[in-house]
Structure 1
Amino acid sequence: MESNTAGSVQYDRWNEDNINMNVEASQSAVRRIYNRVCVGSTGLAMKAAGTIVALVSIFIVGYVTGYYVHRCAE
């Protein structure tokens, strides 16, 4: 019978052949799109464009609202 000393312990679960190092393949499609669009210089450009679109939209809504609020009653 084999003794339970430190030298006889086997680590079959942590065998190097069982380790999956392919991180890119294990990511979801949404995560890959997020990493491509929202990170780095492309992400900075997308954030700037989104900010400009939001500001222009708020300006247009405010202009139209102000027009209808302040137009002269005939």
Structure 2
Amino acid sequence: MMMGYGFGGPLGWLGMGFGLIIHLAFVALIVMAAVWMFKAVFRDGQQANKPIKAVEILKERYARGEITNEEYQRMKKELE
């Protein structure tokens, strides 16, 4: 005589299917959280570089003569 419900629990194969779906959903959530954290880390790094890039563009515009010294100083002060 067998004791207990077996591998799938009281629902048999149906219980095993639900267990598989729950397991896959849990793994998918872990993967999505890892991707979100990875993007968050590198997004912060990109935002930190934006003011530096803006100052570089401003310097190039000043070097080409597109803006005057007064405009350059005012814009540089605003960026800092």
The TM tier, using the shorter chain, reads 0.3 to 0.5
TM-score using structure 2 length: 0.45
Q: Which has the higher helix share?
A: 2
TM-score using structure 1 length: 0.48
